[in-house]
Structure 1
Amino acid sequence: MLKRLQFKSVGMKLFMIFFTAVLLLTSVLGWVALSVSRSIVLEQVSEATAGQLAQAADKVDFLFSQYEGISKQLAVDTLLREDLVIVSDPAVSIVNKTAAEARIRERLNGAVQMDSKLQGVRLVSLDLSTSTSYSSVGSSGTTSSEAIQAKMEHIVKANGQVVWFPTEIKGFMGNETKASISMGRLLKNLNFPRATYVLVIDVKERAIGDMLSNIQIGESGSIRMVTAEGRIVHDPDAQLLMSQSDLELPQQDEAEQGAFYTDQDEMVVVEAMSTAPWVLAGYAPTDDFLQAADKLLWVTLAVIAAAIGIALLLGWFMMRHVGKPLNDMCLLMEQGEQGNLKVRTSFPHRQDEIGRLGLSFNRMMEQISGLADQTRASAVQVLATAEELADVSRSTSQTAGEIAAAMEQVAQGAGSLSQQAENENALAEHIGVQMGRVTQSHEVMQEAADRVLQVAGQGSRHMHHLVEKTEEIHQVNQQMVQRAEQLKDKASSIHKILELMNEIAKQTNILSMNATIEAARAGAAGKGFMVVADEIRELADSSKRSIHTVAGMTREIQEGVQHTVETLNRSAPLFDEQLQSVGEAQERFHNVQKQMDHFLVEIQGSTHSIQELLDAQQELTGSIASAASIVQESSAATEEVASMASQQHKVSERLVGLSGQLEQLSEQLKESLVKFRT
C-alpha cells in the first residue's frame, strides 16, 4: 500500500507532472534566452566586422584602381609608344635607340619613385628577351621559365584588360627578394606590332599589410586575402603566403560576401573585391565574442535551481491537500466494494472540489443502502411472478407450433406456382434480349452503310477534283515545253553576242600590242602611253576570260533546257494515261454510291419489321410479369404469415426459458443482498 501511495497515487503523479513542467519550462526559457543572446551578439559583431571589412576592401580596391589608372596612362602615353617603336625598329640608329631606352627607364623610375608601395615597374617584350625588356631601378632581370611564359600568355589573351596575379614570394619573375602582388596589361601597337609590350607593375605585399593592420577582429582574429581557388594572397603570417587557405569559403555559385560559421566554431566574414577576382576574409573564434553572453549561463542555472526548490514545495503542498484525500477515498471505496455500506468520508466540510467529492460519496452510500433494502423486497415479488409467467409461456408455445406447421404447407404450394411464372417470364425476357440484339445489329449495319455512302460520295468528289488538277498539270506541262523552247532560242542569241564580244576583245588586244610597239619607238615620251596600252591589254585579256566563262555557262544552260524539253515530252503521255485512269476510278465510285443507296433502303425496311415484332414480345412479357407478380404477392403473404407463426413459436419457447432464468436470478439476488450491511 505504501509503495502504491508513493509511486502510483494521483498526488505523486501531480507532483511529478508539476515538477517536470516547471523544470522543463525554466530550462527551455533559459536555453532560448542564452541562444538568442548569443545569436544577437554574433549578428551585431558580424555586421560590425562586415562594415570594417567593406571599408578595408574599398581601400585595397582604391589602391589597385590607382595602379590600373597608371597602367592606362602608360598605355595611352604617346611619347612612350613612340619610344617603344624606336627601340623595336631595327632600322633606327643605335644613338636614337639608346636615347629612347633612357627615356623609357626614366618614365618607369619616375612611377616607382612617386609611390613607395610599388616594388617595381617593367616593360617586357613578348619574346621575354632581356635586351629588349626594360624595368625600373631595383627590379631584377627578365626570365623565360614555363611559369613566366604562362603568365605572359594569360596577359596577352586578356587583350589589353588588366590581369592581377596573386602574391609571389620571389616576385613576378621569380628572382626577387621580396614578396609582391603583380598586375599585367598588354600595350598593343596595331600600326607597329613589333612595338607590342607587356606592362608589369609589382606592388609590395607589405603595403597591403600596412593598410589592413589597423583592423582587429576579436581578440585573436585576423584578415586574409584569398583567391577564388583558395590561394592566400595576403596574411599577417608571411609563411602562409602562396599556400592553400584552410578557411572553408563559399563556392563560386554561392554568395560571395557576408558572414558564415565554420565547423571549427569560427566566424568568417567575406567581402568580394571589385578590381581583382579575390576576396577579403576576416575570421576569428566565436568564443572571442561570446564571453559576455556566456555569463547568462550561470544566471540560467541559478534560476533553474530556484525553480526546482519552488517546484518541490508546491508539489508537497499538492500531495498533502489533493493526493491524501483521494487516497482516503480509494480506501473507503474498497471497503464499500467488500459490502460495507456504512463507510463515510471525514472531509465533507471542505469548500473545494475534494469536499464536494466527499459529500457526494456519503450521499451515494446512503442511497445505495436504501436501494439494497428495496431490492430485497422486490426480489420476493419477482420470484412469484416468474413462476406464473413460465406456466402461461408453455401453453402459448404449444399453440404457436401447430399454427406454424399449417402455414408452412400453404407456403410451399404458393412457392411452386411462383417458380413456374418466373420461368415463363425469363423465357420471354430472353426472346426480347435476342430481338434487341438483332435490332442493334441492323442499326450498326445502317450506320456502316451510311458511312460507306458518305465515303463513296467524298471519293467521287475527290476524283472529280483530281481530274481537274490533272488537266491543269497537263496544260502547265505544255506551257513549260513552249517556254523551254523560247529559252533555248534566247540562249542561242546570247552565244552569238558572246562570239561578237570575243572578236572585239581580240581586236582590242591587237590594238594594245600595236600601241605598245609605238610607245617603245617613241622612247621616254611614250612611257605614259605604254602604261595605258598595258592596262588595255590586261582589260582585253580579262574580258576574253569572262566571255569564255559566260559562253561555258550559256552552253550549260542550253544543254539543261534541251534536257528539260525532252523530259517534259516524255512525261506528256504519262499525264494522259493518268487522266484516263482517274476518270475510270470516278465512274466506279459513282456505281458504288448507287448500290449503297439501294442496300440502305432494304436495311430500313428490315429494321421496321423487327421493331414491330419487338413491340409484340414486350406486350407478352408484360402479361407474364403481371401474372407472376400476383403469384409472388400471394406466396409472400403466405410465407410472411408462416414466418410470423414460427417466430411466435420461438418467442414462446424463449419466454419459457426466460421465465426459468428469472426464477434463478431472483434466488441469486436474494443470496447477494445478504452480503450487504445496512
Structure 2
Amino acid sequence: MNKIRILRFKSISTKLFAILFSGIVILSTALGLSSYQLSKGIIKQEVSLASSQAIVQAADKLDFLFLQYEASSKQLAVDTELKHDLELINQADIGTVQKRDLEEGIRNKLTSISGSDSRLMGVRLVKKDLVEASSYKSAGVSGVRTDDDIQAKVKQIIDAKGQIVWFPTTTKGFFNSYSEATLTMGRLLRNMKQPEAEYILLFEIKDKAVGEILSNLKIGVNGQVKVITDSNRIVHAQDNALLETQSFIHIDKDGEESDTSFTTDDENGVEQLVVYKTLDTTKWTMMGYAPISDFVKGTNQLLYVTVIVILVAVMFALLIGYYVVRNVGRPLAKLCNLMVEGEEGNLQVRTTFHSEDEIGRLGSSFNQMMHQIGLLVDQTNRSAQEVLDTADELTLVSKSTSIAAGEIADASREIAVGASNLAMEAESESVLSESIAEKINKVSLSNNTMEQAASRVVQVSEQGSDYMDELVRKTDTIVEMNRTMVNHAETLKKSTSSIQKILELMGSMTQQTNILSLNASIEAARAGTAGRGFMVVADEIRNLADGSKQSIQTVAEITDEIWRGIEHTTASLNAVSPMMAEQRVSVKEASSIFQSVKQQMDEFLVEIDNSSVFVKELIESQQQLSVSITSISAVVEETSASTEEVASMSSQQYIVSEKLVDLSKRLEEMSETFKQSLVKFKT
C-alpha cells in the first residue's frame, strides 16, 4: 500500500495538477505584483519629480536671500566713506572726539543695515586680532568672545583674502553669545595701503529666516526638510535640537552638481524618498525626505485586488486538477497496478479500457505486450535448459585443463628460480671483478702520479745542485772582495795618518804666522805714522792665519771622523771574514747533499718503472677475466629470460584455465538462476 501511495504521489496526474496549479497561481501572482510594483514605481517617480521641483524652487529662494546679503557685503567692501573712516580711526594722532564721532557713524551705518532687515541678528566689523574695543557692531548685538573654534573661523576668513565665507548654523551664534540659532556670512574688508585698517565683516542671519522661506515646503505627509554641509553637518532643520549634529542620511554627489533623488533607510530602518538641490551661493545641500509609505498608500488597493485574483485563480486551478485526476490519473493508476502484478510474475493480467483516446490505445497495447512476453518466457525456459547442459560439459573440460596448466607452471617456476640464482651469482662475480679493476686502475694512477712526482723531484734536485754550485762560486768571490776591502781600509788608515801629520805641520806654521804678525804689529806701532801701512798688512796676515787655523781644525775633525769610520769598517770586515768562511763550508756540504738526493731519486724512478710494468700485466689479466664473466652472465640471463617467459606463459595458461572454470561455474549458476526466475511467470 505504501508503494502504491508513493506511486500516486509521483503520478502524472499529480504532476499535471501541480504544473497547472503552479502555472495559474504564479502567473496571476506575477501579474498582480508586477502591476503593483509598476504603479508604485510610477507614483514614486512622479512624486520624486514634483518634490525635486519644490526643492529647486525653495533652494532658489534661499539662494536669493543669501545673494542679498552677499550684495550688501560687497557694497560695504567698496564703500569709500567707510574705508576712509576705518583708516582715520586706526591713525595714532587722531583726536578723541573725532574718533568717537567716526565710531558712532560706523555703528549707525551697521545698525541701519540690521534694523531694516528683521531676518538679521546683527552686523559686525571685527578687528582681526578679535579685540572688542577696536571692533564695531550694530545695535542689540553682544560683545566679542575668543576661543579656539572662533580663532579657527577667523583664520578661515583671513585666508579667503576678501572672498565670502559661509559658516553653518550654531545654536548660540558666531561668538556663542546668543540665545537664538544663527548662521554667519563673513568676509575680509581688505586695505592694501593700511593693513591695520582691515576688518572682518560678519552678517549674522537668524535661522528663523531660513525656516520662514522653507515653511511652505512640504514633502509627503511626514516629510522633513534639512540643509546640510558637504560633511553632512545639519545647517537647518525643523527641530533645532538637530543643529550642529550629523545627518543620518548621507548624500553622495560623485562630483556632480545636478539635482537628483534616491531612496534610502533612515535611522529607524524606514525606507525614505530623498530629493536634494545644491545651493549656488554656499554650496550647501537642501535635502527633503519622506517615507515611501506616504506616497504609495493608494497602491494598497491594487494589492488587495491582486490577492482576490490570486484566490480565484487557485479555485480555478483546483477544478482543472480534479478533472485531470479523474480522467487521466485514475486510468493510469489502474494500469500501474496491473504492471506491478506482471512484475511479480502474473503474465495473465489484462486491461478493460474501452475509450478511443490515448488511454484506451495504451490499454490495448499493454494487453498485446503481456501476450508477447508470455510467449517469450516459454521460449526462454527451453533455451535456459540447453545452456545449463552445455555449462556442465564446459566445467568438466575446464577443470582438466586447469590441472595440467598448474603442473606445467610449477615446473617452469622451479627452472626459473635456478636460472635466477645462477644469474645472481654471475652478476655478483662480475661486480667483484669490476671492483678489482677499479682498484688496479687506482694503483696504476698512483704509480703514474709517483713517477711524475719523482721526475719533478729529480729536476728540482738538479736545479738545486746547480744553484748550490753557483752559490759556492759567489761565496768565494765575496770572500775575495772582503779581503780586498780590508786591504783598502788598511791603506786608507795609513793615508789618514799622513794627512793628520800634514795638518799638524800646517797648524804649527799657522801659529808661527800669528807670532810674526804680532811682532810686525809691535814694530809698526813703534814706527808711528810711518808704520801704519805695515800694521794693516800685519793685521791681514793675522786674519789669514786665523782663517787657516780654523780650516785646519775643520779638516782635522773630518779626518778624525774618516779615521773612526775606517776603524769600524775594518773591524766589521774582520768579524765577517770567519762567518763567510763558515758559510762557504756549509754551502759545499749542502751541494753534496743535493747530489746524494739526486742519485737516490734516480734509483727510485727505476723501481717505479718496474712496478708500472707489473701493474699493466695485472690489468690485462683482469680484463680477460671480466670478459669471461660477462659472457657467462649473458648466457645465464638469456636462459633465465627464456625460462621466465615459459613460466609466465604457463601461469597465464593456468590463470586462463582457472577463469574458464570460474566462468563455467558462473554460467551454470546463471542458468539455474535464470531458470528459477522464469518459474514464477504464469503463462
TM-score by length of 2: 0.60
Is residue 330 of structure 2 the alignment partner of residue 329 of structure 1? Answer: no
Is residue 192 of structure 2 the alignment partner of residue 187 of structure 1? Answer: no
Conserved? CA contact 1:169–1:241, under 8 Å: no
Uncovered stretches (5+) of structure 2, i.e. residues with no partner:
446-615
Matches within 5 A, 1:546-561: none
Counterpart of 1:604 in structure 2 is none
The count of aligned residue pairs is 499
Conserved? CA contact 2:126–2:199, under 8 Å: yes
Deviation at 1:344, TM superposition (A): 1.4
Deviation at 1:311, TM superposition (A): 1.8
Is residue 21 of structure 2 the alignment partner of residue 16 of structure 1? Answer: no
Counterpart of 2:635 in structure 1 is 627
Counterpart of 1:248 in structure 2 is 249
Counterpart of 2:650 in structure 1 is 642
Q: 1:219 aligns with which of 218, 221, 232?
A: 221
Counterpart of 1:359 in structure 2 is 364
Higher deviation after alignment, 80-89 or 620-629: 620-629
Q: CA separation in 1, counterparts of 2:418 and 2:669?
A: 43
Q: CA separation in 2, counterparts of 1:48 and 1:110?
A: 40
Higher deviation after alignment, 197-206 or 77-86: 197-206
Q: CA separation in 2, counterparts of 1:349 and 1:428?
A: 95
Counterpart of 1:266 in structure 2 is 272
Counterpart of 1:298 in structure 2 is 304
**SS state at 2:222 partner:** coil
RMSD: 4.7
Q: CA separation in 2, counterparts of 1:133 and 1:50?
A: 44
Q: CA separation in 2, counterparts of 1:231 and 1:303?
A: 49
Higher deviation after alignment, 324-333 or 200-209: 200-209
Conserved? CA contact 2:385–2:671, under 8 Å: no
Matches within 5 A, 1:104-503: 104-105=106-107, 107-109=109-111, 111-112=113-114, 117-126=119-128, 132-136=134-138, 138-144=139-145, 146=147, 150=151, 152=154, 155-156=157-158, 158-168=160-170, 171-172=173-174, 179-227=181-229, 232-236=234-238, 239-240=240-241, 242=243, 244=245, 247-250=248-251, 258-262=261-265, 263-276=269-282, 278-347=284-353, 350-352=356-358, 354-378=359-383, 385-386=389-390, 390=392, 394=396, 397-398=399-400, 401-402=403-404, 404-406=406-408, 408-421=410-423, 424=426
Conserved? CA contact 2:24–2:314, under 8 Å: yes
Counterpart of 1:70 in structure 2 is 72
Uncovered stretches (5+) of structure 1, i.e. residues with no partner:
443-608
Q: CA separation in 1, counterparts of 2:75 and 2:399?
A: 129
Deviation at 1:261, TM superposition (A): 1.7
TM-score by length of 1: 0.61
Conserved? CA contact 1:258–1:271, under 8 Å: no
TM-superposition CA deviations, 1:564-623 (whole Å, max 9, x none): xxxxxxxxxxxxxxxxxxxxxxxxxxxxxxxxxxxxxxxxxxxxx9xx99x999999986
**SS state at 1:291 partner:** coil
**The structure with more radius of gyration:** 2
Provide runs of 4+ in structure 1 moved above 6 Å.
251-257, 429-436, 615-622
TM-superposition CA deviations, 1:296-328 (whole Å, max 9, x none): 312321231122122212222222233212210
Counterpart of 2:95 in structure 1 is 93
| CA separation of 1:281 and 1:431: change in aligned 2, threshold 3 A | farther
Deviation at 1:35, TM superposition (A): 3.5
Q: CA separation in 2, counterparts of 1:35 and 1:424?
A: 95
Code of the residue aligned with 2:250 in structure 1: it is L
**SS state at 2:298 partner:** helix
Deviation at 1:254, TM superposition (A): 9.9
Q: Percent identity?
A: 35
Q: CA separation in 2, counterparts of 1:304 and 1:392?
A: 74
Counterpart of 1:533 in structure 2 is none
Deviation at 1:104, TM superposition (A): 2.7
Q: CA separation in 1, counterparts of 2:81 and 2:288?
A: 44
**SS state at 2:205 partner:** strand
Deviation at 1:365, TM superposition (A): 0.6
Q: CA separation in 2, counterparts of 1:267 and 1:158?
A: 37
Code of the residue aligned with 1:248 in structure 2: it is I
Code of the residue aligned with 2:102 in structure 1: it is A
Q: CA separation in 2, counterparts of 1:429 and 1:74?
A: 117
TM-superposition CA deviations, 1:123-154 (whole Å, max 9, x none): 23346566543334x44342436599545565
Counterpart of 1:468 in structure 2 is none
Conserved? CA contact 2:433–2:625, under 8 Å: yes
Q: CA separation in 2, counterparts of 1:55 and 1:320?
A: 69
Deviation at 1:332, TM superposition (A): 0.8
Q: CA separation in 1, counterparts of 2:12 and 2:275?
A: 57
TM-superposition CA deviations, 1:16-69 (whole Å, max 9, x none): 354245434543454444344434433443344334324433442343244234
Conserved? CA contact 2:433–2:626, under 8 Å: no
Q: CA separation in 2, counterparts of 1:662 and 1:24?
A: 54
